[in-house]
Amino acid sequence: MSIAEMEARELELDPTGGGLWHDAFQRLRRSPAAIVGVVMIAILVFLAIFAPFVAPYSPTEQNLDAIAAGCCPGPSREHLLGVDDLGRDELSRLIYGARYSLLIGVVAVTIGLSMGLLLGAVAGYFRRADSPIMRLMDIMLAIPGFLMAIGIVALFGQGGLLQVMIAIGVVNIPIFTRLMRGSIIAQRDNDYVLAARSVGVPNRKILGSHIVPNAISPVIVAATLALATAIIDAAGLGFLGLGPQDPATPEWGTMLTNTVRYLQTAPFLAIFPGIAIVIAVMGFNLIGDALRETLDPKLRGRT
């Protein structure tokens, strides 16, 4: 057995495999920003799942007595966050709204992520496909993202939950394509890949334990941050009236749309859904930033 083969054998037997994730998790647990972020998102996920049990009213139930004197009475003991212009309980609508924002965010990012990773991997591996794919991405990036999202919703003829998810998903494709391609190309020619190859580590193992873990961590960070942007963009589309078409849907962005008229008499109708959006977005941003710091080896030594 040559020395190289012995080293390769030792590499295979090394018990610290998968240390990256264990390590990252340990670091994450000690980051206050990450904990705050996780708590914020955990609360929202809890509210979204158990909305029927947590919410004091149904999101569509109208309390007409409450708005008999005009729009809109503010927070009271019966309605903790007041009622909207149709007499619906604002708090209950916000709690149910968490379902829509989280769902839109997750589905949209999944669409963008899967398409982007596929295209990026193809562009990174097959040199012939590289140029056409990346030029297409350049073109997509030339159109301001939110404008493109509006355009894609327009393709369907009308707004809606699914339409919003697809639109935001497509807008996210170029981000992940570029990232994945860049990562793969960077890892492909890296010294440690050459080193691993030269000591005889099999290709499969190089890919599995060197290239992919190193290429995937920026993608995970980007996906978390993309969730934040997706929620903002979804709310923006809702605000423009391109969100769910059923006006009874308690989507946060859509809830903000009608409030403009009541800004003088009932500013809380704009403020509460807005704060809900900020909490969701901030939660994902905090987690994303903390993940970036823990997963990026270059930043690890800093703190």
Partner 1 sequence: MLRFAVRRLILLVPILIGLSLLVFIWIRALPGSPAQALLGERATDESIAQVRNQYGLDEPLYEQYWRYLQTVGSGDLGTSIASRRPITEEIQDRFPATVELAISAMLFATLIGIPLGFLAAKRHGGAVDHASLFLSLIGVSIPIFFLALLLKWAFAVELGWLPSVGRQDVLIDAEHPTNFYVLDGIITGNWYASWDAIKHLILPAIALGSIPLAIIARITRASVLDVQNEDYVRTARAKGISSGAVDRRHVLRNAMLPISTIVGLQVGLLLSGAILTETVFAFPGIGTWLQMAIVNRDYPVIQGGVLFVAIIVVLVNLLVDISYGFLNPRIRLAGR
Applying CB under 8 A, the residues found at the interface with partner 1 are: 135-136, 138-139, 141-147, 150-151, 154-157, 228, 232, 235-236, 239-241, 253, 256, 259-260, 263-264, 267, 270-271, 274, 277-278, 281-282, 285-286
Q: Decide if 112 contacts 86 (C-beta within 8 A).
A: no
DSSP assignment of 87-107 equals SBBHHHHHHHHHHHHHHHHHH
How near is the Cβ of 118 to partner 1 at its closest, in Å?
A: 20
Q: Please, which residue, 115 or 270, has the CB nearer to partner 1?
A: 270
Enumerate the β-bridge partners of residue 83.
Answer: 89
How near is the Cβ of 277 to partner 1 at its closest, in Å?
A: 6
Residue type, 79: H
Q: Please, which residue, 96 or 284, has the CB nearer to partner 1?
A: 284
How near is the Cβ of 142 to partner 1 at its closest, in Å?
A: 4
Q: Please, which residue, 181 or 210, has the CB nearer to partner 1?
A: 181
Cα separation, 24 vs 109, in Å, equals 22
How near is the Cβ of 297 to partner 1 at its closest, in Å?
A: 16
Q: Please, which residue, 54 or 141, has the CB nearer to partner 1?
A: 141
* Maximal CA-CA distance, the chain: 90
Token output for 73: 């009475």
How near is the Cβ of 161 to partner 1 at its closest, in Å?
A: 18
Q: Please, which residue, 145 or 218, has the CB nearer to partner 1?
A: 145
Q: Please, which residue, 196 or 256, has the CB nearer to partner 1?
A: 256
Token output for 178: 């570029």
Give φ, ψ of 185 to 5 degrees: -65, -40
How near is the Cβ of 22 to partner 1 at its closest, in Å?
A: 27
What are the Cα distances from residue 170, in Å, to 70, 163, 208, 241, 249? 43, 11, 28, 20, 24
Burial class (CB in 10 A: 0-12, 13-18, 19+), 222: buried
How near is the Cβ of 240 to partner 1 at its closest, in Å?
A: 6
How near is the Cβ of 174 to partner 1 at its closest, in Å?
A: 11
Q: Please, which residue, 15 or 32, has the CB nearer to partner 1?
A: 32
Q: Which residues of 52-88 are buried (b: 16+ CB within 10 A; e: fewer)?
A: eeebebebbeebeebbeeebbbeeeeebebbbbbbbb
Enumerate the β-bridge partners of residue 88.
Answer: 62
Q: Please, which residue, 164 or 211, has the CB nearer to partner 1?
A: 164
